[in-house]
């Protein structure tokens, strides 16, 4: 499976996917916001610093989203933003609505 196929498959098939780095504070903010609403096994977290193809994945995510920085958070196959975006959406209730829309959590 190519890097592109791997990323496309994760995004298409996962309700909630976070492309992350284990040491990144913005990634932690996004994951904490999601984990406060969902069980950990409901969020597909890919730690790019722990993968040999992490740089290739970031390059492809840049093509998809216009940005190479992490986190890159996808809900229902759609890019919703990074760490600050995810926290802001949680505070406004938008994150909960998006998660409910894709069946990741009860409405």
| 71 phi and psi angles, rounded to 5 deg | -80, 160
Residues 6+ apart with CB under 8 A from 52: none
Distance CA 71, CA 91 (A): 18
Q: Quick one: pLDDT at residue 73?
A: 99
| 49 phi and psi angles, rounded to 5 deg | -75, -10
Instruction: Kindly report the pTM of this predicted structure.
Output: 0.95
Q: Quick one: pLDDT at residue 105?
A: 80
Fold held by 3-101: Glutaredoxin (3.40.30)
Q: Are 85 and 73 in contact (CB under 8 A)?
A: yes
Low-confidence stretches of the chain (pLDDT beneath 70) = 106-107
DSSP class of 19? E
């Amino acid at each position: 499976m190519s890097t592109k196929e791997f990323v496309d498959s994760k995004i298409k098939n996962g309700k909630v996917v976070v492309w992350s780095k284990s040491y990144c504070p913005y990634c932690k903010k996004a994951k904490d916001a999601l984990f406060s609403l969902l069980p950990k096994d409901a969020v597909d977290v890919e730690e790019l610093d722990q993968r040999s193809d992490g740089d290739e994945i970031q390059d492809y995510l840049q093509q998809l989203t216009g940005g190479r920085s992490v986190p890159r958070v996808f809900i229902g196959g759609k890019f919703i933003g990074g760490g600050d975006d995810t926290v802001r959406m949680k505070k406004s209730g938008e994150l909960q609505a998006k998660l409910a829309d894709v069946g990741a959590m009860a409405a």
